[in-house]
Amino acid sequence: MSNANAARTINKSDPFIDHLLSKLHLKHKTWYLSGRELTTLEIRDALISYLESLFEEHGKILVDVVENYPNPPVKDKSAVPIPPPKPSPVVDSKKPKAVSRVSEIDPVAGNLRPHIVYLMELGMDIEQIRTILRRFPAFAYYSLEGKIKPVVEFFLELGVPKEKILIILIKRPQLCGISLSENLKPTMKFFESLGVDKKQWAKVIYRFPALLTYSKQKINESVDFLHELGLSEESIGKIITRCPNIVSYSVEDNLRPTATYFRSLGVDVGILLFKCPQNFGLSIEANIKPVTEFFLERGYTLEEIGMMISRYGALYTFSLTENLMPKWDFFMTMDYPNSELIKFPQFFGYSLEQRIKPRYARVKSSGVRLLLNQVLSLSSSNFEEVLKKKMKKLQVG
């Protein structure tokens, strides 16, 4: 399936996704209760044989089966429903009970349960709490004083703003199930030993709270690969500080294939990853190759494209339809050769309406010529100063 079609199917398949989660929870129950994050390989090992058997059974109508789970697809009345797994104590039986605890009155205090009151005092509303419990029922049974409060107070001490702690808990409630002394703090120390700036923990955790739930094995797999690319300890620490998501990327499914692809363009992959690690979370088929094709169709060689991304690492992170195409169309109206973009691919990083068009209109009305990087990269005052000098020189001539 194409990336877009797969996304549409996922959006229509909540019951089937819950069904897959039930299978994961059954196999890795203790890990989920402790908040441990599964690796891509562990998820695949748990599900791939089951998904392959479904494909063998249903073939071309598999998408309909998935979207209509647990009922047979409308298009094929004879299809046999997928039997649901045995009830998972983590997902199936606990989920309704966990969600109901949000509005339960504590028999001792005569009020809502203490951890619900605490979360509301932090600024969370009832529906947000219910969302957490639907996704992670074990959270309903966490001790306020023993688990939730210590983690929240620890994050506050690190400098995480209260409003961002709410977002962290919504994204990754499992953090409250992880021992501060035995897991969270040692994991942070481990990352600091890799070069992560301890003064930046508040930003790192907010950007990617799941970072602290990964096993050392998973972290080491990612770090070992970064070493393979020739990156130093200091550079690796800076990368994880700026883009902690890099640890979540599968080495074999994302990092290595992406490195191989960019290396085929003549790019120094280590430098590219340091400049813009976000490239390595992109899909090669859905995101990266279409950008290469875009520039090839406009007359650039693979070597020239490699030079462009080497000079501007974020080039491949832009949307084709919303960024590259409209800016290219306007570039075609500008009085520059195509080679100017090889020298200055940063052109695609500037706002078309707020920077490129008004600056170029100013240059045209002045009757002078400037290099593309002078048009866009100079500050307003320096831009005007260069324009005046060029105009004065033109008048003298």
Whether the predicted model's global pTM rises above the 0.75 cut = no
Tokens representing 164? 């961002």
Between the alpha carbon of residue 182 and those of residues 42, 186, 333, the distances in Å are 23, 6, 61
CA 369 to chain centre: 41
Q: 3-class DSSP state for residue 112?
A: strand
Q: What is the pLDDT of residue 63?
A: 87
Measured between alpha carbons, how far is 228 from 216 in angstroms, rounded to an integer? Answer: 18
Between the alpha carbon of residue 208 and those of residues 4, 70, 202, the distances in Å are 25, 34, 10
Q: What is the pLDDT of residue 267?
A: 97
Measured between alpha carbons, how far is 338 from 324 in angstroms, rounded to an integer? Answer: 14
Low-confidence ranges of the chain (pLDDT < 70): 3, 29-41, 72-110, 397
User: Which is nearest to 210 in space by CA: 179, 244, 166?
Assistant: 244
Q: 3-class DSSP state for residue 268?
A: coil
Q: Are 313 and 275 in contact (CB under 8 A)?
A: yes
Q: What is the pLDDT of residue 397?
A: 61
Specify whether the backbone of 17 is left (phi greater than 0), alpha (psi in -120 to 50) or beta: alpha
Where in the chain are the domains? 3-68, 101-177
Measured between alpha carbons, how far is 294 from 377 in angstroms, rounded to an integer? Answer: 24
Burial zone of 148 (CB within 10 Å; 0-12 exposed, 13-18 middle, 19+ buried)? buried
User: DSSP letters along 175-224, please?
Assistant: GGGS-IIIIIHHHHHHHHHTT--GGGHHHHHHH-GGGGGS-HHHHHHHHH
Buried b (16+ CB within 10 A) or exposed e, 291-306: bbeebeeeebeeebbb
Q: What is the pLDDT of residue 32?
A: 58
What are the phi and psi torsion angles at 323 (to 5°)? -125, -70
Q: What is the pLDDT of residue 56?
A: 80
